[in-house]
Chain A
Amino acid sequence: MKFQKKRASTNQNIPMASLPDIVFMLLLFFMVTTTLREVDVLVDFRLPEAAAIEKIENKRLISYIWVGKDNRIQINDSIVRVEDVQSIMYAKRQELPNIIVSLRIDRGTDMGLVTDIQQELRKAYCLRINYSSTIKI
């Protein structure tokens, strides 16, 4: 008597042809959801720590102002003077009416400079601000 191995008659391969499509879908998802960092930060800063902080929901509305340890102010890709903040921010507000200005200021900065920047922002009608700070544990 001859024994015959019993095998399912169906094809047992997983179809590999759709793998690239699946991976491309993943890729597209990541490409769409992530925002690439578009500016180089030229100043050196350490953010202050705070506990009662909120997340900013809408990333596209944010515009940054950096202030470094050496009191230099950076907007976009360049170092600017305090007097120029108003005109630059006003132009930005024209494009984005409900702009949120995120102030990334070094923890050792004098309040005088911070107040000056705030006054410039008020003149430019950029009234929604956010003092960027890290979470205190």
Chain B
Amino acid sequence: MLKKKKIAEASIPMSSMADIAFLLLLFFLVATVIDVDTGIGLTLPEFIEDPETVEIAKDRMAAVLINENGDVLLDGAPISVFQIKNQLKPRIISKIDLPATRKLIVSVKTDRRTVYNTYIQALDQIKMAYFEVRDETSNAEFGRKYKDLNPEQQEFIREKVPIIISLAEPEAIKN
């Protein structure tokens, strides 16, 4: 007598699929680094072979000079790095209502042997001064902080308080 053979059912166990997927998920969670990039942003000027020099009114300029020992001169007067913010703020505020061509320019100049950390601290102070003035201006105008404004209002404040930082053209190497 011929009996029909029963075909064995072939199946992959699906219950462990979730576990495998969880393992993969854990791998990606562990292996990826979510490091937020933070830093001080700046836009460099274009490179021109022979830059023309333009005379700028003395009261428009705030010259920050940093020497190799980390001493700071602001417009010829020696101050500490942490005073830069408080010294600059009133000068920025006094120029808020002036036209764009007469806003304050902060010029930063370093020696070739100045330590990078000092330079960043000085730049940080300058940026902080500008940010605080922006916050105060937007508080006075709109009653809110700068970062809570809508794009048009931010644009308005940006025009009122533009951040103009000039990195002085490095001198020819003097070693």
Contacts and interface: CB of A to CB of B under 8 A. Distances in A.
Interface stretch (B23-31, B52-60, B89-97): B23-31
A97 B36 CA distance: 22
Interface in B33-47: 33-34, 36-47
A130 B138 CA distance: 25
A123 B40 contact: no
B113 A131 contact: no
B124 A105 contact: no
Contact of B39 (A20, A122, A130): A130
Question: What is the interface of chain B mostly: helix, strand, loop, or mixed?
Answer: mixed
A52 B127 contact: yes
Interface in A35-70: 35-37, 48-56, 59, 62
B154 interface: no
B40 A54 contact: yes
B142 interface: no
B168 to A, nearest CB: 10
A134 B65 CA distance: 24
A15 interface: no
A51 B84 CA distance: 14
A27 B127 CA distance: 41
A129 interface: yes
Contacts of B167: 118
A107 B44 contact: no
Contact of A129 (B15, B44, B131): B44
A26 B121 contact: no
Interface string B144-175: 00000000000000000000000100100100
A18 to B, nearest CB: 10
Given A20-B18, A111-B110, A122-B45, A50 B40 contact: yes
Interface string B63-90: 0000000000000000000000000000
Given A16-B15, A127-B44, 8 more contacts: A23-B18, A27-B25, A31-B28, A34-B34, A48-B116, A56-B39, A107-B115, A109-B115
